[in-house]
Structure 1
Amino acid sequence: MNSAQQMPATEHVSAEVVVELESCATQDAHAVFSALRTSFSSDRAADDVPEEVAGPGSTVWTSTFDVSERKAAAEPRRLTAPVLVSLQGGYWAVDELCKGLESAFAVHILGTAAGDQEKEVELRLETR
């Protein structure tokens, strides 16, 4: 097979991004996840609201979003405090999810870690 006959790039690119929120208020986790569900498909139902778990340690909320098709831009959402978010997925997918967050929040990139096929991005979200 010559280079002109290679499979389309979209077949090599994962459109899923794992989103983790840690040490934030339950209502802030709900605001972030509901904003993302407005724009992208999720592995969680729309009525799946984050709940605090009793016990030692911090609560981590995780959801996976498919960014292959953007549904709509999320309206700005209010947060009670800045929220730290970790995104992990393919380069294109993580960039698309970041763009989706920008319609709802002020997004600050705190750091990135790049691999061969995926990258991880640490963000701080604030009310716009």
Structure 2
Amino acid sequence: MESNGTTNHPADCDVTVQLSDCGRQDATVVFETLDRVFAGCDMPAPGPEQAHDHEPTVWMATFDSSARREEEPAPPQLGAEVTALLTGDHQAVAEVEKALGGLFEVRSATSVSGEHEREARLLLAPR
């Protein structure tokens, strides 16, 4: 197993989560909720919100699927549906997808599997 060099865990446990079709508040809700389930490997701190700035099109963070925490977060409150794209090792993506399914209503899910990587697209909604 290969290590990502910045932490002491296997790189194949990392799952990149990209959120789109949402604003800063809903992206923060999803990422903070995932961070309470898994250790956030690379979770950028949101900058100050400014009315005149454009929001990013895609929000991105990476989570270590092998570092599952014992804490079960309360059901998060989303303001609108959020599209999530998960990318990583087959098992790692399955772990994050399962966690998201327990926290949010998943209205649709599609996935594409390659030889070493899996990509899953989920439409998350509040429960």
Answer whether TM exceeds 0.5 for this pair: yes
Superposed structure 1 runs of 4+ greater than 4 Å apart: 50-53
Displacement of 1:73: 2.3
1:105 equivalent in structure 2: 104
Q: Which runs of 5+ in 2 are unaligned?
A: 2-8
Q: Would the alpha carbon gap of residues 22 and 83 (structure 1) be closer, same or farther in structure 2, given more than 3 Å must change?
A: same
- Give the total of aligned pairs: 116
- How big is each residue's C-alpha offset from its partner over 1:31-86, in whole Å with a ceiling of 9 and x where there is no partner? 100000001111126xx23666835x952110000010210222211111110000
CA-based RMSD of the aligned residues comes to 2.5
Name the CA distance, whole Å, in 2 between partners of 1:82 and 1:121.
16
Name the CA distance, whole Å, in 1 between partners of 2:20 and 2:99.
20
Q: What TM-score, normalized by structure 1, do the two folds share? A: 0.78
- How big is each residue's C-alpha offset from its partner over 1:90-112, in whole Å with a ceiling of 9 and x where there is no partner? 11000100121123211234311
The 3-state SS of whatever aligns with 1:67 is strand
Q: Which protein has the bigger strand share?
A: 2
Q: Which runs of 5+ in 1 are unaligned?
A: 1-6
Letter in 2 for 1:49: P
Q: What TM-score, normalized by structure 2, do the two folds share? A: 0.79
Letter in 1 for 2:118: K
Q: Which has the larger radius of gyration?
A: 1
2:121 equivalent in structure 1: 122
